[in-house]
Amino acid sequence: MSEENKNRRAEERIDKEAADWLVKRDRGLSEREAREIKEWLGQDARHRMRFELYEQTWARFSTLEETEEVEEFEAQPARMGQGRSKPDFQKLSRAILSLAAVLLLGLMIWVGIGLIDGKERVEFEGRYVVDTYETRILSDGTILELNEGARAKVRLTDAYRRVWMHRGEAHFHVAKDETRPFFVYAGGAEVRAVGTAFNVRVDHEGVFVIVTEGRIHFSRTVSENEPGSAALSFSEQLDAGQATSFRQGALNAVPVVETHTYDELAQLLSWKPETLEFNDAPLGDVLTAFNKRNTIQIVLSDEELETMPIEATFRSDNVLAFTRLLELTFDLKADRVAQDEIVLRMP
């Protein structure tokens, strides 16, 4: 069976399962079914996407049906109580509307999946404008982490996967799919990957790319039509730990490729929250880990607090929640003495 047929059958199976679960949910779920639908929704990003599409369409249909029934009732009050003619008409009307709803569902799924130029089926398309750190899981399983201020457009089809970074920074952990390369376009640069992880930042200074896992293909082409520039093509393979960049305005400059240590990479990607787990770690070491990753610094007023054992799991960017935990669990006092400084002291 060809890869295209496999993908089509998988999509058809997901559509059927989503419709079945919606019917079961409206009927009323047993405890076992409630657990099963939760597991099913979490198995694949496409499951939740299809289920929500069916749910939204059915909600629109239900509202339309209720509105039409109210309008009909108000327009023809004298027909109420005329034997079986009204119930029979309602049954026929509901049957027709139900058929229309099924056709509408099919139409919306066809439009949602779509066609590009009559050849490529659209799996997902969306725009992201974020003001705070956000994580998105795309329909192919790719994990997209967006730094605050990021602006991006995503389009996934059965032939390719593409992201346009208009502004800001994002980290991509690309789901492996050798039949559909993953492209990111930013400020005149192109990054191509299959199954890897990398970081892209584009701002008024230029474009910066860091490879955190696997390998990417990075290219930069300057058009002869750009003022003061000559035709220049740059193409390079970058491996994990390597980074490259080019500055805005330096159109003829060849991007420089650099290799970074693990600590240097961690510093360059410090905007990405991590899950920090502490098991009987001294409070002094815990605060060092938090302070490396945040502009808000936590300071100890009492030296004896340095060795206090801490056991907790927290996101590295959640400083305020962490200090609140220390207050509640260890009876400490946290004072925000400045915009970027919190002092911990004994009560």
d(CA 190, CA 173): 16
Q: Which residue is associated with the tokens 């059958």? A: 9
Q: Among the listed ranges 72-76, 212-216, 261-265, which one has the minimum average pLDDT value? A: 72-76
Question: Could you say which of 3.40.50.620, 3.55.50.30, 3.10.580.10, 1.10.150.120 is the CATH number of the domain covering 275-345?
Answer: 3.55.50.30
Residue 96 identity: I
CB under 8 Å to 32, separation ≥6 — which residues? none
Q: Ranked by mean pLDDT, which of 19-28, 30-39, 58-67, 97-106 comes out on top?
A: 30-39
| Residues of each domain in the chain carrying CATH 3.55.50.30 | 275-345
For the stretch 158-168, pLDDT in tens is 889 999 999 99
Put simply, whether the predicted model's pTM sits higher than 0.75 gets the answer no
Residues 332-339, mean pLDDT to the nearest whole number: 89
Using 50, 70 and 90 to split pLDDT, how confident is the model at 221?
low
Tokens of 212: 């955190």
Q: Over the stretch 303-320, which tens digit does the pLDDT of each residue have?
A: 889 999 988 787 787 788
CATH 2.60.120.1440 domain residues, the chain:
122-268
Interval 122-131 mean pLDDT: 89
DSSP letter assigned to residue 203? -
Judging by beta carbons within 10 Å of its beta carbon (0-12, 13-18, 19+), is residue 230 exposed, middle or buried?
A: exposed
Query: Mean pLDDT over residues 94-123, rounded?
Result: 52
CATH 2.60.120.1440 fits 122-268, yes or no: yes
| Statement: residue 222 has pLDDT above 70 | no
Angle at 62 between CA 56 and CA 67, to 5 degrees: 130
Q: What is the mean pLDDT of the chain?
A: 76
How far apart, in whole angstroms, are the C-alpha atoms of residue 343 and residue 347? 12
Using DSSP, state whether 254 is helix, strand or coil. Answer: coil
Whether 210 shows a pLDDT value over 50: the answer reads yes
Tokens 């009307």 -> residue = 93
Determine how β-strand 161-173 pairs with β-strand 333-338: unpaired
Q: Which residue has the tokens 């490529």?
A: 120
Q: With contact defined as beta carbons under 8 Å apart, do 298 and 290 qualify? A: yes
